[in-house]
Structure 1
Amino acid sequence: MTMNNIYSKLRSKNIKNYYMLIFCIILSIVLVASYAVMFFSSTVQEILPIGGDSMKQAYLIFGIAIVGCALFTTYASSIFFKYKNRETGILLSLGAKKSQIKKVLFIELSLIGFVSSLIGLTLSIPVSFGIWKLFQIFIIDIKEMVYKIGWPGLIYGIIFCILIIISIFIMGLKFINRTNIIDILNEHRKCEIVKDIKSWYGVVGSILIIVGMLLGYAIPQISIRYLNFRMPAIWNITFLLSAIGMYMLITYIIVYNKKGKNLKKYYKNIIPKSMMKFMGKQTVKNMCTISFLISGALFAAFYTPLNVSNLFYSLDNNPVDYSFHYKESENQIKKNEIYLLAQKHNVNITSYYEVPSISLIVNGINANFMDNGKITYTHIDKIGYSEFFSESDFNKISKQNVDVKPGEYLTIITPESLESIHERFNDLNKITNPVTNVSQKINYAGTITFQPFVKQGTTKYVISDEDYKKYAKNLPIENFENFVLFNVKNPDKTYAFANDLKNEIIKRSSKAVAVSKFYDDYEKKLALEKGEKYYYESINLSSDNNLLFQDWKYYPSFNVLDRQDIIKNMSVFLMLFIYIAIICFTAVAIIAYTRSITIAINNKTLFNDLKNLGANNKYIEKCIKVQLKKIFTIPTVVGSTSIYLLFFFIVYGNSGSISPGEYAGLRINFLIMIVTGFFMYLVYRLSLRKIKKIIQI
């Protein structure tokens, strides 16, 4: 009988272990490759701005998915090799050489890796399509959500396959290089006891979790704000302190067992606690992996609610239903035409205002990021244009009573910005007339809140009527803009009117205003004088442009449309991040379930001995529950609490306070934590049922 025949016979006796490894590899590849196929599709890439925070978050989440699936596959491979010890021990005891076993094993692993990779990559496209369609059916279905295959994603899938196969081969090589037959035969019985630890271990672990987050996130923020220094990328390694803290805290909970005053409780649970202690190292590793995956899943799940709730809160508290602005040089839609269009759609306009503004050249501060991390700030006398309103016009539209003296200005901000300790509103101290090129000093007089005037990429100010008239004199028409603001009755029911008005505004806008929201006439002039290309112009000004709402400088702000645009923009994030959460939770469920079954298999003999000593089924079930509750509860609490705490630091650190919208997002995230706990409870019940069948109670 040849080696292959013997190996084949042994394989048939342990075929379930092979099926489990193949299933885990296929599942990991399908999850990673299908996500990559969706992520790198043109539909997703067009919605996510290149180089923006959204794209960075998506890549970070993609990295979490890859690490999560890699950990999951590594865990499955370790179990496969653990139960393959007996086969290898039998072959060695029969006189087989290691080189022979290595050859057969590597052929076997090559076949498993190739077949699993082929199946996983093949399934990734239909799986991504099915998930996309399910998302459209149950969450949101808009015309922009068109499924397109991101072929570059398959390249990432192939790279992941190669890395997985290489890691399995390395584990196989380490496995085969062991020489002691007795150790191999008894590998599955080997205890991995963690040495006794002190009572301070858990306290230090908890402190390290918080310190790691503060050092990794807060210190870079403080360094930029107060020290004008950007921490190097290697500083992110400080987050590892949180990982070390999680390991210490979990180890403490598993291993530390002091008698205390309640001796009855101590001896009552001594058997299940000792069982966990004997397998301490492996248990702690598994629980740390589960904690990491839960943290990754919740990081993905927390991102969208926090952003959406904040945006919707701003819309709900916007005092103006409809607002848009345009250059006076444009032949834009007029008041009577707006009323006629509203009449056509049976929309009742309750208030209507038009407010002019002038564009003047302002000074500012330019941040320069040096290679050594130092941040220098350069004061520039003429940095670009900003818009100015007269105090009387501003009071008319905002229903406020501001009083600005000549030579002073107020900065218009949002209510959220008012709470921020990081925002700077007083950088302006010089205004230049673009016609006469005469500059005048101007003093900061404070801030004033009015949300409709605040838009990303622009800064707006209020000056006295005297200064406004002085600067407006002899200004060309290109330096005048008109702001139109009005309210309607039942704004949520005016979508058709809003859409038609938006299309009419786009239709009447000339190519001269087809510019990005970061476009500035003065910046363009400086760039052209230096012979440089200016990149913030010539966008596709069309109603069919799905990205116009986030690109166009003069895109109208209609609350009823903004809600749709938010949903449209965040739908992609929601789909990607929910999918990442599914990937991580799938891995969590399988690892926790497998670890639970391992407890039953490894300790089956011990449970039988307990029965022979007189223990009833109720006591044995209690021993199992004590262990399972720790396996499921501790990683869930540690992982979810840690990531929730990190998000709290991020939200607070962004502005130095927490806005009402952010509070709403944090409440939603807390509910997600509760749902996570319920999910883990279901896996716990399923695991308990299976264990009771294995040990026959």
Structure 2
Amino acid sequence: MNLDKIFDKLRRYNRGNYVQLIFCIAFAVFLITSFSAMLFSPTILTVLPVGGDSRKQVNMIFVIALIGCLMFAIYATGLFFKYKSRETGVFLALGASKRVLTKTFYKELAKIWAACTLVALVLGNIASVIIWQLFRVLVIDTSQMPYQFSITGTLVGLMFAVVLGLCIFVMAYIFMKRSNLMDILNEQRKNEPIQEVTRAYGLTGLVMTVLGILLGYVVPFAVASAFKINLPGLWNATYLISIVGIYRLVTYLISHHERGKRPQKYYKNIIPYSMMKSQGKQTVRNMCVMALLVLASMFALFYVPMSATSYWQIDDSPVDYSLVYPANIDELNQEDIESLAAKHDVKATDYMEVDFAELLGSGIERDWTDSGKLVEEYQEKHEYAEFISASEYEQITGKQLTVPQGGYYIFVNGPEDTWTKFDDMDQVTNPATDETFKLSLTGTLDDDKELFHLATNRYVLNDADFEAITAGISEDHQVKQLMFNVEESEAEQAFAEEVFSEFIARAPAEMARTTTYDAYQSEQAKLAGEHYDGDIVMELDTSNPDLRNYWKYYPSIKTVMKQNFLRDMAVFFLLFVYVAIICLAAVGIIAYTRSITIAINNKQLFEDLTKLGANNKYIRRTVNSQLTKIFVYPTVIGGVGMLFMMFLIFVVNDGRFSPSEMIAYRYDLLIFAAVCVYIFILYRVSFKKMLRILKV
């Protein structure tokens, strides 16, 4: 009988170990292939423009997916080598040549890797088609979201498989290179005990975990606001303090046990305590990795509720349709709206038309220097802003507003930040007469969402001031805003889409501007022969996903905004849930295999306990004590840590916890509860498997 046949028999005998290895390799390549097949699909790429924040976020989450898959595949391979160590040592002890044994072992691994890769690449592409179609049926289905095959996605999956294969063979080379026969024979039995630590050690671990998050996220905001300094990117390394803190905290939870006031409880659990400590280093490493994977999965799952706050805010505006455009442009008017409404048999109501005067406001230009310091430069003529009178404001909103002479109210959508202060403007200039008027901040208006415009600052002036300041203003410096509502009906969607497409079709080239564009700043840059960053021409096409976030005149049409938002967020939801699945799968594999390892390594101990009189109830309690630590601690640390981080994100970004953010946070809590249910299921499966191994 040659060595290949002996290996075949060993494979059949140790089927469980091989199944675990094959599953982990195939599952890792399968996940990355199906993920990248969708990520690099032309349909997805149209939603994720090159250089945009959304593309950067998805690329970051894809890197996390790659690391997660590589991590649990390598971990499973390491366990497989641990199981193989005994039989390898036996072969060597019986006189087998290490060269021949190594060759046969490499050949076996190559077959496993090749078969897993081929099957995973095929199934990954098939799964991406099935998941995409199910996604369209269950979540959102539009003509802009057809499935398109991506050869790039398949190549990425293949490259990942090659990298994973190289890692496996490097590990195999190191495994077979060892020369000490006894080390090989005892590899499976080797334990790494951990020293007991003090309560102060655990307390400092908790403090470091929280401190790392505060230093990494809160401090940069605080420093920028208080000292006008932008901390360097290297400051993000402070997050590593949290990782060290997690390690110390887990070490404390595993190793520290005091007799305290109830010594009977301590002595009753001394065996499970000792078992955990005897394999402490291995367990701590596994639990730290699990905690970080749980944190990464929570980050991916929490992203959608966090982004959905913008979706819920769409309904904050009391008007269904709001169209803003320069008054000298031949755009949609009331007659056009009524004609389209009659065509689709819908009823348009509450029609309002507002004319804003465009004046040059003073302001402060802010920018970071190369050294990270915030530089502020006051400019008497900074940028154009839009103004209405107090009486017109009352006519539009029905609210009475008293504005003193020389004062102004500003429309806002949140608190001040480092870049914008509400009282930056202290004078305005009439562009027609070049006459200047001094003004000062009276107050803010944050409840009139229909009049807030993201692309331009808007103000309310005293009636007398408004009449004096806007004297001689022509249509070239006026902005028109049309607002109306539509009664709910089945035809509203088609009507909204035609209003949207007609508005874009009529928009001339001078309206193809981004939200950062200002005509005065552009003119000054040209006069100085300098480049102006805001001179970017938008592609005015209904299929352009950049319009919603970056077009200066993007129409506020609730129905269209919700549909486009759902389309974009559906893509994020799909991709981020994929990453969460990868991370949680890694958690499951690591926790399950760690549980089985504990059962196998301590089987003799449990048999001895049974012979000494321990009943099944005691064995079950001991097993449960081991598993509870492995499953509960990483889940709580990772989940609570991410919940704390999300709370900081919501509060620190704008200094408040808005109603929509509270809704998102409730969803985060529900998601964490669902993950806990998943972990509990894993715990029960592992618990039953351990009892079967121990024959309890």
Say yes or no: TM over 0.5: yes
Q: Give the TM-score, by structure 2 length.
A: 0.93
Change in CA separation of 1:146 and 1:323 when aligned onto 2, cut-off 3 Å: same
Contact 2:500 2:560 survives alignment (8 Å) = no
Change in CA separation of 1:220 and 1:158 when aligned onto 2, cut-off 3 Å: farther
- Partner SS for 2:565: helix
Change in CA separation of 1:112 and 1:374 when aligned onto 2, cut-off 3 Å: farther
Residues 198-227 of structure 1, C-alpha deviations (whole Å, 9 max, x = no match): 122221111111101001111111222222
Aligned: 1:465 with 2:463: yes
Contact 2:433 2:472 survives alignment (8 Å) = no
Name 2:432's counterpart in structure 1: 435
Q: Which amino acid aligns with 1:382?
A: K
Q: Which amino acid aligns with 1:448?
A: L
Contact 1:38 1:128 survives alignment (8 Å) = yes
Change in CA separation of 1:110 and 1:458 when aligned onto 2, cut-off 3 Å: farther
Q: Which whole-Å CA distance do the structure 2 matches of 1:4 and 1:233 have between them?
A: 54
Q: Which whole-Å CA distance do the structure 2 matches of 1:356 and 1:319 have between them?
A: 19
Between 1:671-680 and 1:336-345, the stretch displaced more is: 336-345
- Partner SS for 2:428: strand
Q: Which amino acid aligns with 1:53?
A: D
Name 2:237's counterpart in structure 1: 237
Aligned: 1:251 with 2:244: no
Shift of 1:295: 0.8
**Pick from 480, 483, 486: which aligns with 1:482?**
480
Residues 420-458 of structure 1, C-alpha deviations (whole Å, 9 max, x = no match): 798521222232333344444432222122212223332
Q: Which amino acid aligns with 1:635?
A: P
Shift of 1:96: 4.4
Q: Which whole-Å CA distance do the structure 1 matches of 2:416 and 2:662 have between them?
A: 14
Shift of 1:659: 0.8
Residues 299-357 of structure 1, C-alpha deviations (whole Å, 9 max, x = no match): 0000111221x224423332222211222212223324434544555544442221101
Contact 2:61 2:579 survives alignment (8 Å) = yes
Change in CA separation of 1:364 and 1:126 when aligned onto 2, cut-off 3 Å: farther
The sequence identity of aligned pairs, in percent, is 38
Aligned: 1:211 with 2:208: no
Residue correspondence of structure 1 range 348-387 to structure 2 within 5 A = 348-387=347-386
- Partner SS for 2:408: strand
- Partner SS for 2:364: strand
Q: Which whole-Å CA distance do the structure 2 matches of 1:439 and 1:32 have between them?
A: 62
Q: Which amino acid aligns with 2:423?
A: N
Name 2:538's counterpart in structure 1: 539
- Partner SS for 2:318: coil
Name 2:264's counterpart in structure 1: 264
Q: Which whole-Å CA distance do the structure 2 matches of 1:480 and 1:281 have between them?
A: 71
Name 2:62's counterpart in structure 1: 62
Aligned: 1:298 with 2:323: no
Q: Which amino acid aligns with 2:381?
A: K
Q: Which amino acid aligns with 1:458?
A: T
Name 1:517's counterpart in structure 2: 515
Name 2:388's counterpart in structure 1: 389
Q: Which whole-Å CA distance do the structure 2 matches of 1:447 and 1:493 have between them?
A: 38
Shift of 1:634: 1.1
Name 2:315's counterpart in structure 1: 316
Name 1:625's counterpart in structure 2: 624
Q: Which whole-Å CA distance do the structure 2 matches of 1:142 and 1:64 have between them?
A: 30
Name 1:571's counterpart in structure 2: 570
Q: Which whole-Å CA distance do the structure 2 matches of 1:607 and 1:566 have between them?
A: 57
Aligned: 1:447 with 2:436: no
Residues 518-572 of structure 1, C-alpha deviations (whole Å, 9 max, x = no match): 3332233234442647765543334454554334322221223322222122111
Residue correspondence of structure 1 range 168-207 to structure 2 within 5 A = 168-207=168-207
Name 1:141's counterpart in structure 2: 141
- Partner SS for 2:657: coil
Name 2:687's counterpart in structure 1: 688
Between 1:644-653 and 1:484-493, the stretch displaced more is: 484-493
Aligned: 1:18 with 2:18: yes
Residue correspondence of structure 1 range 333-344 to structure 2 within 5 A = 333-343=332-342
- Partner SS for 2:401: coil
- Partner SS for 2:388: strand
Q: Which whole-Å CA distance do the structure 2 matches of 1:556 and 1:348 have between them?
A: 19
Name 1:552's counterpart in structure 2: 551
Contact 2:17 2:80 survives alignment (8 Å) = yes
Q: Which whole-Å CA distance do the structure 2 matches of 1:110 and 1:365 have between them?
A: 65
Between 1:272-281 and 1:50-59, the stretch displaced more is: 50-59
In structure 1, the gaps of 5 or more residues are: none
Contact 2:49 2:546 survives alignment (8 Å) = no
Q: Which amino acid aligns with 1:365?
A: I
Q: Which whole-Å CA distance do the structure 1 matches of 2:372 and 2:578 have between them?
A: 36
- Partner SS for 1:444: strand
Shift of 1:685: 1.4
Shift of 1:493: 8.0
Q: Which whole-Å CA distance do the structure 1 matches of 2:478 and 2:490 have between them?
A: 32
Name 1:501's counterpart in structure 2: 499
Q: Which whole-Å CA distance do the structure 2 matches of 1:469 and 1:224 have between them?
A: 40
Aligned residues: 694
Change in CA separation of 1:440 and 1:495 when aligned onto 2, cut-off 3 Å: same
- Partner SS for 1:357: strand
- Partner SS for 1:353: strand
Residues 368-413 of structure 1, C-alpha deviations (whole Å, 9 max, x = no match): 3333323323334434322222222122212222233343322111
Q: Give the TM-score, by structure 1 length.
A: 0.92
Contact 1:419 1:657 survives alignment (8 Å) = no
Between 1:339-348 and 1:635-644, the stretch displaced more is: 339-348
Residues 57-90 of structure 1, C-alpha deviations (whole Å, 9 max, x = no match): 2222112212211221121111011111112212
Between 1:453-462 and 1:377-386, the stretch displaced more is: 377-386
Residues 228-258 of structure 1, C-alpha deviations (whole Å, 9 max, x = no match): 2222222211111111111111221111111
- Partner SS for 2:450: helix
Contact 1:71 1:289 survives alignment (8 Å) = no
Contact 1:421 1:656 survives alignment (8 Å) = no
Change in CA separation of 1:189 and 1:542 when aligned onto 2, cut-off 3 Å: closer
Q: Which whole-Å CA distance do the structure 1 matches of 2:474 and 2:62 have between them?
A: 51
Contact 1:362 1:430 survives alignment (8 Å) = yes
Between 1:254-263 and 1:397-406, the stretch displaced more is: 397-406
Q: Which whole-Å CA distance do the structure 1 matches of 2:632 and 2:203 have between them?
A: 19
Q: Which amino acid aligns with 1:432?
A: T
Change in CA separation of 1:348 and 1:3 when aligned onto 2, cut-off 3 Å: closer
Residues 628-660 of structure 1, C-alpha deviations (whole Å, 9 max, x = no match): 122111111111001111111111110122111
Residues 23-76 of structure 1, C-alpha deviations (whole Å, 9 max, x = no match): 212211221232223222222222224434333322221122122112211211
Contact 1:592 1:631 survives alignment (8 Å) = yes
Between 1:479-488 and 1:291-300, the stretch displaced more is: 479-488
Residue correspondence of structure 1 range 604-615 to structure 2 within 5 A = 604-615=603-614
Q: Which whole-Å CA distance do the structure 1 matches of 2:315 and 2:530 have between them?
A: 45
Residues 108-137 of structure 1, C-alpha deviations (whole Å, 9 max, x = no match): 444544443444334332222222222222
Q: Which whole-Å CA distance do the structure 1 matches of 2:159 and 2:367 have between them?
A: 37
Name 1:123's counterpart in structure 2: 123
Name 2:86's counterpart in structure 1: 86
